Amino acid sequence: MAEKNAIPGEMTAIGIPVPGGPEALVPERRPVPVPGPDEVLIKVAAAGVNRPDVMQRQGKYPPPPGAPDIPGLEVSGFIVAAGGSAELLVGQQVCALLPGGGYAEYAVAPAGQCLPVPDGYDLVEAAALPETLFTVWSNLFERAYVVEGDTVLVHGGTSGIGTMAISLCNLFDIKVIVTCGSDGKCEQAKAWGADHAINYRTHDFVEEVKRITGGQGVQAVLDMVGGDYVPRNIQCLAEDGRHVSIAVMGGPKATVFLPTLMSRRLTLTGSTLRPRSVAFKSLVADELMRVVWTFVEQGRLRPAMDSRFSLADAAKAHACMDAGDHFGKIVLTV
């Protein structure tokens, strides 16, 4: 293992002694992790807050085998140590996708899941990129294979996922329709770049999608709701359309009329990112470097930022997310 700076034996990290509300997040002293072969140790500058962190805090989403019990799936910072062939990366400024452990002063990441942060790019903003960027790219652009000229429907238009989907669709000339829970959030989504925003509390999004698309429907739906949204999403799809599920916040079961899928040649698919292999996530990182990272370097791809909290105030950050009034990403600074 190569080292750049003296590394302490202990660090401050956020633990979850007992699952529960935001108050369940407690600062603790933990040993600084040691990177294994092809892993790097990052001195964390900032960590993104994501919905899976909330579910882990509530006891509904345990870390996958081998992952730290410290929450946090994305960080930015400087590589200060590395194992094996990754030692050449020591000293680099990166953002990284993690299996866990981001709410801490130091975190270990697979080298293949790190992306270089360009000079002049805000490290706090960089911490808000990996989780949503990997998720939207691998699901909307790879699984749903959307292309220039398509129209997509994305639920949760002002969430971290929704705002990242809007940004990527704008970069690749894809029209995006989003749903939001208020007129105010609809205006925020449109100001961020959504072509259309539907208040699902006051309008039937199925009828609105049909109206917007002239009855043709959308080529893809990115859904994090599940439950009874699935058959309604199917009604929004054009022929040969693709429906991608990435969460089930509205329920894990749905009733689908199979002849509709067959006659209109629809595809239902989905994925979860956190348990996927390092090899898969590294392939996604490679594709992002080749296809997307130029936009980051040019400053054309930045996350929608809502608020910043100190690491010690992780409970306040989660209370903010639980309230549901945020626009874009919430980030912890270290």
Instruction: Report the percent of the chain where pLDDT is more than 70.
Output: 99
Q: Residues 70, 102: contact at Cβ < 8 Å?
A: yes
Q: Which band of pLDDT confidence, cut at 50, 70 and 90, is reported for residue 159? A: very high
Residues near 119 by Cβ (< 8 Å), separated by ≥ 6? none
pLDDT of residue 317: 98
Q: Please report how the helices 183-192 and 160-171 are oriented relative to each other, as an axis angle in degrees rounded to 10.
A: 40
pLDDT confidence of 5, banded at 50, 70, 90? low
**Residue 1 pLDDT more than 50?**
no
CB 152 within 8 A of CB 217: no
> Phi, psi at residue 301, to the nearest 5°?
-120, 105
Q: Residue 123: which pLDDT band, with cuts at 50, 70 and 90?
A: very high
Token readout for 108 is 């270990």
pLDDT in tens, 245-292: 999 999 999 999 999 999 999 999 999 999 999 999 999 999 999 999
Q: Is 113 exposed, middle or buried (0-12, 13-18, 19+ CB in 10 A)?
A: buried
Arithmetic mean of pLDDT over the chain: 96
**pLDDT band for position 6 (50/70/90)?**
confident
Q: Which two tokens stand for residue 190?
A: 């449109």
Structural contact between residues 62 and 56, judged by C-beta atoms closer than 8 angstroms: yes
Return the pLDDT at 28: 98
Structure token digits, residue 102 = 């981001």
**Secondary structure, 3-state, the chain:** CEECCCCCCEEEEEECCCCCCHHHCEEEEEECCCCCCCEEEEEEEEEEECHHHHHHHCCCCCCCCCCCCCCCCEEEEEEEEECHHHHHHCCCEEEEECCCCCCECEEEEEHHHEEECCCCCCHHHHHCCHHHHHHHHHHHHHHCCCCCCCEEEECCCCCHHHHHHHHHHHHCCCEEEEEECCHHHHHHHHHHCCCEEEECCCCCHHHHHHHHCCCCCEEEEEECCCCCHHHHHHHHEEEEEEEEECCCCCCCCCCCCHHHHHHHCCEEEECCCCCCCHHHHHHHHHHHHHHCHHHHHCCCCCCCEEEEEEHHHHHHHHHHHHHCCCCCEEEEEC
Decide which of 3 and 267 is more confident: 267
The residue behind tokens 């270089």 is 116
**Taking 70 as the threshold, does the pLDDT of residue 2 lie above it?**
no
**Per-residue pLDDT tens over the stretch 281-332:** 999 999 999 999 999 999 999 999 999 999 999 999 999 999 999 999 999 9
Task: State residue 148's pLDDT score.
Answer: 97
Give me the mean pLDDT over the 47-66 stretch: 95
What burial letters (b/e) apply to 125-163, b meaning 16+ CB within 10 Å?
bbbbbbbbbbbbbbbbbebbebeeebbbbbbbbbbbbbb
d(CA 277, CA 283): 10
| pLDDT tens digits, 173-203 | 999 999 999 999 999 999 999 999 999 999 9
Q: How confident is the model at residue 3 (pLDDT cuts 50, 70, 90)?
A: very low
Record the tokens describing residue 261, joined without a space. 């899928």
d(CA 100, CA 274): 9
Query: Over the stretch 35-49, which tens digit does the pLDDT of each residue have?
Result: 999 999 999 999 999
Average confidence (pLDDT) over 86-97: 95
pTM of the model: 0.95
